[in-house]
């Protein structure tokens, strides 16, 4: 009999399998599809004479694939730059404050999309993470902005933050608008946020409930008392 632990990966969704890769690994994996598509398109164009309309259609498809590759290449560069940044060891950033700032700035964006943001940061109000404030603020903003874009119109995005004995956590739950390309702006934004948060020691877990179309993202970070160096 196969142990339950060995069987678990077989029950993973495609999203959960992808999330087990690093941000860099996910981007490289995503880059393979448009590269292969562009190569096939060019091979087909050269295989036999084609009508002007067929050539035009092939060029449009090639431009679309090239656009996807460009977006992935830009995200790859940003993730690589994050990996080369110097680690900040003596700064702290209060997590609840950063979350409030990001949500307040993005409320107008959510309202345009008719997405309501419901928050509860009370269990994390006195804790900070050891990271540069500017870098952490950028990551939190990118995180919230991306999830707002991924949420279905007319639904509620729930954002909570709390503490455990050795960690702070952020939990975001939303109803997905639908399948998204790995090259879409919000998906690439999430990967960049993931790379920066993991640079600060975060653990990242993203899962979906197929029957309800719900997604849950949990980020865990090591904490220090607020203001302590």
* pTM of the predicted protein model: 0.81
Does one domain contain both 98 and 78? no
What's the CA gap between 36 and 115, in Å, rounded?
Answer: 37
Q: What is the pLDDT of residue 13?
A: 55
Q: Which of 101, 91, 87, 98 is nearest to 224 (CA)?
A: 91
Residue owning tokens 């977006």: 71
Indicate the Cα dihedral angle 109, 113, 114, 120, nearest 10°.
-50
Does one domain contain both 35 and 132? no
Does one domain contain both 66 and 100? no
Residues 65, 37 contacting (CB under 8 angstroms): yes
pLDDT tens digit at each of 229 positions of the chain: 334 434 444 555 555 555 567 899 999 999 999 999 999 988 988 888 888 898 899 999 999 999 999 999 999 999 999 888 776 556 788 889 999 999 999 999 999 999 999 999 988 877 888 778 888 999 999 999 999 999 999 999 999 999 888 789 999 999 988 777 878 999 999 999 999 999 888 999 999 876 678 999 999 998 775 544 4
Q: Count CA atoms within 13 Å of residue 189 on its CB side.
A: 17
What's the CA gap between 67 and 65, in Å, rounded?
Answer: 5
Does one domain contain both 60 and 119? no
Quick count: other Cβ atoms within 10 Å of Cβ 221?
Answer: 24
219 secondary structure, DSSP code: E
What's the CA gap between 100 and 12, in Å, rounded?
Answer: 33
Query: Per the structure block, which two tokens stand in for 72?
Result: 């992935």
Domain that holds residue 36: 4-84
Structural domains of the chain, count: 2
Indicate the Cα dihedral angle 216, 221, 227, 229, nearest 10°.
-170
Domain final residue, candidates 57, 84, 111: 84
Q: Which SS3 state, helix, strand or coil, does residue 20 take?
A: coil
Q: What is the pLDDT of residue 7?
A: 45
Residue owning tokens 């903003």: 141
Q: What is the pLDDT of residue 114?
A: 96
Q: What is the pLDDT of residue 211?
A: 64
């Amino acid at each position: 009999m196969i142990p339950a632990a060995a069987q678990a990966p077989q029950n993973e969704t495609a999203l959960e399998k992808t999330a087990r890769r690093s941000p860099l690994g996910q981007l490289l994996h995503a880059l393979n599809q448009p590269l292969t598509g562009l190569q096939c398109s060019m091979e087909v164009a050269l295989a036999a004479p084609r009508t002007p309309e067929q050539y035009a259609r092939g060029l449009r498809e090639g431009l679309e694939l090239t656009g996807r590759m460009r977006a992935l290449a830009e995200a790859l560069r940003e993730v690589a730059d994050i990996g080369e940044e110097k680690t900040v060891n003596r700064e702290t950033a209060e997590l609840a404050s950063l979350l409030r700032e990001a949500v307040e700035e993005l409320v107008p964006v959510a309202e345009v999309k008719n997405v309501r943001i419901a928050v509860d940061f009370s269990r994390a109000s006195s804790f900070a993470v050891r990271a540069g404030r500017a870098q952490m603020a950028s990551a939190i903003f990118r995180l919230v902005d991306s999830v707002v874009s991924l949420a279905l119109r007319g639904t509620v995005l729930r954002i909570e933050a709390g503490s455990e004995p050795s960690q702070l956590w952020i939990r975001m739950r939303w109803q997905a608008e639908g399948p998204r390309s790995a090259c879409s702006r919000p998906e690439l934004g999430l990967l960049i946020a993931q790379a920066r948060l993991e640079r600060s020691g975060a653990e990242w877990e993203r899962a979906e409930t197929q029957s309800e179309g719900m997604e849950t993202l949990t980020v865990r970070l090591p904490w220090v008392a607020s203001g302590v160096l």
